[in-house]
Amino acid sequence: MAKKTILSAENISVGFKVRSSELRAIRNVSLELKEQETLAIVGESGSGKSVLTKTFTGMLESNGAITGGTIRYQDKILSDLKKDSEWDGIRGKEIATIFQDPMTSLNPIKTIGSQISEVIIKHQKKSPKEAKQMAIDLMNRTGIPYAEKRYDDYPFQYSGGMRQRIVIAIALACRPKILICDEP
């Protein structure tokens, strides 16, 4: 039985407005992701890998836009979505991203545990008590020692590798259908 395509990009082009002109960052890229499949996008630094994956979650910088092509996720045409509110049911919940630099992903004034719990409450509709228990479980599963005791720690109290594990736990807390790992 053939696996179902869950994400496809057909002839995607992305441009950025820079001063008075447009910089074309991506030209006519196509790909298909099937259920249960791992897909690697490989290229030189600066070739547009991260820019391409940001189009799958509507996270291009404000001066960037999809200038051509179509992105489909299941029955939705993602390339037509323009407002953050249109991405609410998709970003994080259906398609999650683990970013390369955890310090830009974590809020420095919120505890590690609260950041994981917040995602669980939002996307899984769990109570705060249930979310805390699930967050501690995710911390344990991603290799955070003494997770229950470390739940109320802040990002600055963790090493870079430990912060990366927390970002992974946050992405997994969403239970996404697609997990994008930027520079895994």
Q: Based on the fold, state whether residues 72 and 133 are members of the same structural domain.
A: no
Q: Based on the fold, state whether residues 79 and 120 are members of the same structural domain.
A: no
pLDDT score for 152: 98
Quote the tokens at residue 134. Answer: 């699930």
Which helix (H) or strand (E) segment is 180 a member of? strand 178-181
Question: What does pLDDT average to in each consecutive run of 10 residues of the chain (184 residues)?
Answer: 92 96 95 95 92 95 96 95 91 90 89 96 94 97 96 95 94 93 84
- Give me the domain span that covers residue 24: 5-91
pLDDT score for 30: 97
**Measured distance CA(38)–CA(42) in Å, rounded:** 13
**Measured distance CA(71)–CA(26) in Å, rounded:** 14
Q: Based on the fold, state whether residues 86 and 107 are members of the same structural domain.
A: no
Q: Based on the fold, state whether residues 112 and 139 are members of the same structural domain.
A: yes
